[in-house]
A and B are shown apart, each in its own frame.
Chain A
C-alpha cells in the first residue's frame, strides 16, 4: 500500500507560533484518483498542501510524495508535481503563450516537445483564441484554465490544487472537474482542496479537515452511509422561535432550513433523541411527524466538525 500510494503522510504537523495549523495528519492518497480536502477556511488545507510540495517545513511528522521524502529532496518531488496556488500566480504581464512557454522551460521541456505540448494544452483548455492575451486582462475562468494548463505542462504524476474553483462561475467549475477526471484517466493523481460540498462529493476519496485535524476520511458515499448520527426531516417551516428551541435541544448537532423543510442532525446518544424531539414539537402545537432521511455530505461535514474526536470510519 505504502509504495503504491502517491502520498503517504504520518503525523504531519505544522505550528505557527502558538497556533497549530495542521495537527498530526495521516494521509494515504492512492494513485490515479481525485482526493479531496474538505474544510472551512483556516482548517489547514493550504498549509498541508504547502508541506506536501516542500514550501513549508513540517514541525513534526513525515511526508512521502511519489515515493520521495519531501523534506530531504524537495526538488526531486517538484519535477513530477504540478501545483496550482489559491491565488492566480502566473505572470499578469505575460501572454498566455509566454506563460506556458516559461513554465514549460522551467520544467526542462525541449523546444519541440514544448511546442507540441503547448499546442495540445491550448486546444484542450480552450485557450487557442487567447494565446496573445496578457494573463492580467483575462476573466477568472480563463485564468483558471491557464493555471491548470501551466500546472500540467510537464505531465506531472501528481497535481496539487489549492481551492482552484473559488473564483469561477458554476459552468467553469463543471468544465474544470471534467478536465480533472480526464487527467485521472491518464493516471494523474489529483489532490484538491475545496469548501464546496458538491465538489467534495465528486472526489474518489475525501478527507475532512477541521482546525488542523483530519476528522473523517473515506469515499464520500461511505462517509454518508456510515454517518454516526441520525438525520431527521420536518416537512414544515417551524418558524424562528421553534427552530431555535430545536437547535438548543441536547443531542441536536445541527439544524438547517432548506426551503419549507427543516433538516435536523441528531447524535446517537440514548436512542431517545427522536422521541424527545417529537414531544417538543407536539408541545409547541406542531403535529407533523419527523421523518428519517439519508445523510448528505453536508451532514457528514457538520457531524465530523462538531466532534473532532469522533472519527468516522473509512
Chain B
C-alpha cells in the first residue's frame, strides 16, 4: 500500500515537472512532427545478401542453374527452398525473407518462348530499397537446356507485395515510429536521475524511505504514456499526410509499441545511472541513437549488413521493433507470427531495467 503510494507520488511528480518544463513538453509533439516531415519527404535508398526463398516446382537443370545464377549476383543470399507458394507467403509475412522466387512446373517450356513469364520474383515492398535492387535480378540470363540464352527482361515478372505503388513513404513512416520513439524515450529518461542529482533533489529523496524500484518505476511510467501519445501522433500524420495504410491490428501495433517504449526507457534509465552530469547523459544517449538508426534496418535492410553489424543489430531494440511495425502495419502480420521479436524486446527491457536497478544505490558514495 505504502509502496504503491510512493510509486504513484514519484510518477505524479515526474509528470508535473514535465508539464512545467515547456521545452521538454514541446518536444513530445514537436520532435515527432519535425522528424516525420524531414524523413518522410527526403529519404530514398542499395543492397546485397537479401534473404530469399525459392519455390522450385520445376526442379530441372535449367531451374537450378537459374537459382544459382541469382545467388551469384550476391543481391540475394543462398536461397532457402520451401515446398509451396503458401509457405513462401508466410515467410514473407513474418519477415523471414524479403524476396521470394517462384519457378513454375513448366519453367523449361516457358523459357523456350511464349508470352508468359518463366519465373516470378516477389519483393517485400515494406522494406526500403529492395525493389530497385531486385530489378538487377531480373537481368540475370535464363539458360534453356540446349544452351540457348534468352533475353530474360520480359521473362521474369517482378511483383511487389505490401506496397504495390512502391512509395518510399510507405516504408519510411512505420519505421519512423521506432526511430522517433527511440530518440525521445532514451533522451527523456537518460536525464531522469542525473537531473535530480545535479539539482540536489536526489540527496533528499534517497534520505526518505522510498524504495529503489518504486523510484525507478515511478520515473518510468509517465514516459510510457508519452511514448504511446507519440505513437498515435506519428500514425495519424502518416495516415493523413503520407497515406500510409495500417493493414494489421491497431491493438497489436500498440502492444508492440508499448514493449518498445519500455525497452527504450529502460535503456535511458541505465544511461542515467552511468552519467555524472546531464551533459554526459545526453552524450551517452546520442551514442545509443546512431547505431539504432544505422543498424536497425531503418536505413539499410538487416539482411544486407555484414555479419558483425547483424550481431550488433540484434542487441538494438529498434531492429526488432522495425520488424514488428513493418509486419503489422504493412503486411498485416499477426503478433503470433512475430513472437520472437516481441520476446526479444521484453528480455531487453527487463535486462536493462534490472541492471539499472542494481546500479542505482540509495547512497552518495
Whole-angstrom CA separation of A56 from B203 in the bound complex? 11
- Contact A55–B17 (Cβ < 8 Å): no
Whole-angstrom CA separation of A87 from B196 in the bound complex? 13
Whole-angstrom CA separation of A74 from B207 in the bound complex? 9
- Contact A94–B16 (Cβ < 8 Å): yes
- Contact A106–B209 (Cβ < 8 Å): yes
Q: Knowing A102-B13, A105-B5, A105-B9 touch, does A90 contact B201 (C-beta < 8 A)?
A: yes
Collect the chain B residues with CB atoms within 8 Å of residue A110's CB.
5
Q: Knowing A50-B364, A94-B17, A108-B6 touch, does A103 contact B208 (C-beta < 8 A)?
A: yes
Whole-angstrom CA separation of A266 from B2 in the bound complex? 59
- Contact A75–B209 (Cβ < 8 Å): yes
Collect the chain B residues with CB atoms within 8 Å of residue A93's CB.
16-17, 20-21
Whole-angstrom CA separation of A85 from B200 in the bound complex? 9
Interface SS majority for chain A: loop
Q: Does A311 lie at the interface of the complex (its beta carbon under 8 Å from any beta carbon of B)? A: no
Q: List 27 A-B contacts (CB under 8 A).
A: A50-B364, A55-B362, A55-B363, A56-B364, A57-B363, A75-B211, A78-B208, A78-B209, A83-B204, A85-B207, A88-B200, A89-B199, A89-B203, A90-B201, A90-B204, A93-B17, A93-B21, A94-B13, A102-B9, A105-B5, A105-B12, A106-B208, A106-B210, A108-B1, A108-B5, A108-B6, A108-B209
Whole-angstrom CA separation of A106 from B206 in the bound complex? 11
* Binary CB contact string for chain A from 48 to 84 against chain B (1 if under 8 A, 0 otherwise): 0010011111000000000000000011001101010
Q: Does B165 lie at the interface of the complex (its beta carbon under 8 Å from any beta carbon of A)? A: no
* Binary CB contact string for chain B from 322 to 365 against chain A (1 if under 8 A, 0 otherwise): 00000000000000000000000000000000000000001111
Collect the chain A residues with CB atoms within 8 Å of residue B210's CB.
106
Collect the chain A residues with CB atoms within 8 Å of residue B21's CB.
93
Whole-angstrom CA separation of A53 from B21 in the bound complex? 32
Collect the chain B residues with CB atoms within 8 Å of residue A89's CB.
199-201, 203-204
Collect the chain A residues with CB atoms within 8 Å of residue B17's CB.
91, 93-94
Whole-angstrom CA separation of A146 from B294 in the bound complex? 50
The size bracket of the interface on B is: 20 to 34
Output the least CB separation between B30 and chain A (Å). 20
Q: Knowing A56-B363, A81-B207 touch, does A105 contact B6 (C-beta < 8 A)?
A: yes
Whole-angstrom CA separation of A87 from B197 in the bound complex? 12
Collect the chain B residues with CB atoms within 8 Å of residue A56's CB.
363-365
The chain B residue sitting closest to A50, CB to CB, is B364
Whole-angstrom CA separation of A179 from B1 in the bound complex? 32
Collect the chain A residues with CB atoms within 8 Å of residue B365's CB.
56-57
Whole-angstrom CA separation of A50 from B364 in the bound complex? 9
- Contact B13–A54 (Cβ < 8 Å): no
Q: Does A196 lie at the interface of the complex (its beta carbon under 8 Å from any beta carbon of B)? A: no
Q: Knowing A94-B13, A94-B16 touch, does A107 contact B363 (C-beta < 8 A)?
A: no
Whole-angstrom CA separation of A105 from B6 in the bound complex? 6
- Contact A55–B13 (Cβ < 8 Å): no
Q: Does A98 lie at the interface of the complex (its beta carbon under 8 Å from any beta carbon of B)? A: yes
Whole-angstrom CA separation of A112 from B6 in the bound complex? 16
Collect the chain A residues with CB atoms within 8 Å of residue B2's CB.
108
The chain A residue sitting closest to B203, CB to CB, is A85
Q: Does A92 lie at the interface of the complex (its beta carbon under 8 Å from any beta carbon of B)? A: yes
Which residues from chain B sit less than 8 Å from chain A, CB to CB? 1-2, 5-6, 8-10, 12-13, 16-17, 20-21, 199-201, 203-211, 362-365
- Contact B6–A106 (Cβ < 8 Å): yes
Most A Cβ at <10 Å: residue of B8, B12, B13, B206: B13
Collect the chain A residues with CB atoms within 8 Å of residue B364's CB.
50, 55-56
Whole-angstrom CA separation of A83 from B200 in the bound complex? 13
Whole-angstrom CA separation of A57 from B13 in the bound complex? 29
- Contact A107–B209 (Cβ < 8 Å): yes
Pick the contact of B207 from A55, A90, A94, A98 — CB < 8 Å?
Answer: A55
- Contact B209–A79 (Cβ < 8 Å): yes
Whole-angstrom CA separation of A55 from B13 in the bound complex? 23
Collect the chain B residues with CB atoms within 8 Å of residue A54's CB.
207, 362-363
The chain A residue sitting closest to B207, CB to CB, is A83
Output the least CB separation between B105 and chain A (Å). 72
Whole-angstrom CA separation of A54 from B206 in the bound complex? 9
Collect the chain B residues with CB atoms within 8 Å of residue A94's CB.
13, 16-17, 20
Output the least CB separation between A224 and chain B (Å). 34
Instruction: Give 3 closest A-B pairs by Cβ, nearest first.
Output: A105-B9, A108-B2, A89-B204
Collect the chain B residues with CB atoms within 8 Å of residue A98's CB.
13, 16
Output the least CB separation between A151 and chain B (Å). 9
Most B Cβ at <10 Å: residue of A85, A89, A98: A89
- Contact A107–B208 (Cβ < 8 Å): yes
Most A Cβ at <10 Å: residue of B2, B5, B209: B209
The chain A residue sitting closest to B204, CB to CB, is A89
Whole-angstrom CA separation of A139 from B209 in the bound complex? 29
Whole-angstrom CA separation of A106 from B364 in the bound complex? 19
Whole-angstrom CA separation of A92 from B199 in the bound complex? 9
Whole-angstrom CA separation of A108 from B1 in the bound complex? 8
Whole-angstrom CA separation of A78 from B365 in the bound complex? 18
Collect the chain B residues with CB atoms within 8 Å of residue A57's CB.
363, 365
- Contact B207–A53 (Cβ < 8 Å): yes
Whole-angstrom CA separation of A79 from B6 in the bound complex? 13
- Contact B16–A74 (Cβ < 8 Å): no
Whole-angstrom CA separation of A310 from B272 in the bound complex? 48
Collect the chain A residues with CB atoms within 8 Å of residue B363's CB.
54-57
Whole-angstrom CA separation of A79 from B3 in the bound complex? 13
Collect the chain A residues with CB atoms within 8 Å of residue B199's CB.
89, 92
Pick the contact of A87 from B200, B205, B211 — CB < 8 Å?
Answer: B200
Output the least CB separation between A148 and chain B (Å). 13
Whole-angstrom CA separation of A93 from B16 in the bound complex? 9
Whole-angstrom CA separation of A110 from B2 in the bound complex? 9
Output the least CB separation between A90 and chain B (Å). 7
Whole-angstrom CA separation of A106 from B214 in the bound complex? 10
- Contact B204–A85 (Cβ < 8 Å): yes
Extra pairs beyond A89-B199, A105-B5 (14, CB < 8 Å): A55-B207, A56-B363, A56-B364, A56-B365, A74-B362, A75-B362, A85-B200, A85-B204, A89-B201, A94-B16, A102-B9, A105-B6, A106-B6, A108-B2
